[in-house]
Amino acid sequence: MGRVRSHPPPPREEALGEATTVAQAAPASWRTGLPVTVMPEVTLRELRIDDGPSLLAHLSVEEVSRFISPPPTTIAGYEQFIASCHQDRTSGQGACFGIVPSGAEHAVGIFQLRSLDTSFHTAEWGFAMGSAYWGSGLFLQCATHVLDFAFDVVGVLRLEARAAVVNGRGNGALRKTGAVQEGVLRRSFKRGNQSLDQVLWSILAEDWLLQRGPQAAPVH
């Protein structure tokens, strides 16, 4: 999947289900708490400390973690990661949503948004989800709401993502969101003893507004 930054002390495409409940956040209020979006098949919400065991089980296995920054390897490590995400949200530097499938209580994946400048006009996002849910359509449903949040609520103007060239699933997922491939960053991702090339993707606020159609709300 796309690159996800951890804090060291850091698909089959399906029709999108309409959100049945959305707790909207005003542009400035997301720093006090992220919006919750409840869809028929999945809920997108802020990570909770008790998501740690589930994230460890779903994201720390090799098939998921091999193309992302090394994830925590213990429950305590994930609890520290979640706490740091809350700190980033409070300071206005980032946001991290948990992917909770219908019928489940805890997150099986994440979407992470991080500012690349002091204004949050340029940002980076990454994502990871347990392999049991690959091809389920949950990614695109959640990605749509994360993009709405980034552009409409936070005020991002340019959103970047990086994925290893050899990560076909991650690059395919980004392509489905309408992201544009801008180039290849040579040997830009260090994983173990390997240095991998990455594809640089971007979505601009105006691109996303056009993609949603003429009836979409204007981007802040």
Q: Is the dihedral of CA 174, 178, 179, 181 positive or negative?
A: positive
77 phi and psi angles, rounded to 5 deg: -65, -40
What pLDDT sits at residue 67? Answer: 86
pLDDT in tens, 24-55: 444 558 999 999 999 999 999 999 999 999 99
Average pLDDT, rounded, for the chain: 87
For 158, which DSSP code?
A: E
List the chain domain ranges: 35-212
Residue 95 CA to residue 34 CA, distance in Å, equals 8
Model-level pTM?
Answer: 0.85
The one-letter code for the residue type at 159 is: L
**pLDDT confidence of 220, banded at 50, 70, 90?**
very low
Token pair for 14: 């399906």
Q: What is the pLDDT of residues 101-135, one digit of tens each?
A: 999 999 999 999 999 999 999 999 999 999 999 99
Q: 153 near 27, Cβ under 8 Å?
A: yes
- Running DSSP on this structure, what letter comes out for residue 129? E
Return the CATH architecture of domain 35-212. Answer: 3-Layer(aba) Sandwich (3.40)
Q: What confidence tens digit (pLDDT) does each residue in 139-161 have?
A: 999 999 999 999 999 999 999 99
Question: Nearest CA to 120 among 99, 137, 95, 144?
Answer: 95
